Amino acid sequence: MEASQLLAKVGDSLSAVRAFGEPIDRDGITLVPVAYVVGGGGGGTTPPPAPDAPSPPAGTKGPSPGDGAGLGVITWPVGAYVIKDGQARFVPTVDVGQLVLVGSFVLSRMLKALRRRRR
C-alpha cells in the first residue's frame, strides 16, 4: 500500500462522521450521535541499499527495502444532539460499564483509607 492510499484511509478513519455519526430523522426529531475519537499512527520506509554498500556480516540480516505503517483509533460514545422544532439539546450517554469501573475504583480507595485509619 502506498503512502497516499494509507493517508486516505487515515482520513476516513478520523472523519467527522466517526465523531458525530450519520443524523437520524424520525417523527420530526433529528438525532445526531456524538463520540470522542482519538487516533494516532506512524510509518516509515527503508530505502534500498546503495550498490557499493558493504554487505552485512555473515549470519546477520541487514535492513531490507520496504515500508510499513500502523494506525490506532479509539471511539467512545458520549451522547447525542436532539433537534426538535428548531431547538437543539445535548443528551449525554450513560455508560454503565464506566460507572461501575469508576465506582469500584473509588470504593476500593475508600476501603483502603479506612483500613489505614484503623492501624
Q: How confident is the model at residue 3 (pLDDT cuts 50, 70, 90)?
A: low
Position 30 scores a pLDDT of 93
Q: How confident is the model over 24-59, as pLDDT tens digits?
A: 899 999 998 888 888 777 777 777 767 776 766 666
Integer Rg of the chain from CA: 26
Alpha-carbon distance of 63 to 55, in angstroms, equals 10
Higher per-residue pLDDT: 82 or 11: 82
Position 106 scores a pLDDT of 95
Higher per-residue pLDDT: 85 or 21: 85
Contacts of 78 (CB under 8 A, 6+ apart): 34, 35, 36, 92, 93
Cell numbers for 41:
499512527
Position 63 scores a pLDDT of 59
On whether the CB atoms of residues 34 and 78 are closer than 8 A, the answer is yes
- Over the range 21-56, which residues count as b (16 or more CB within 10 Å of their CB) and which as e? beeeeeeeeebbbbbebeeeeeeeeeeeeeeeeeee
- Over the range 83-100, which residues count as b (16 or more CB within 10 Å of their CB) and which as e? beeeeeeeeeeeeeeeee
Position 104 scores a pLDDT of 95
Position 13 scores a pLDDT of 66
Cell numbers for 32:
445526531
Q: How confident is the model over 62-119, as pLDDT tens digits?
A: 556 677 777 787 888 888 899 999 999 999 988 888 889 999 999 999 999 999 888 7
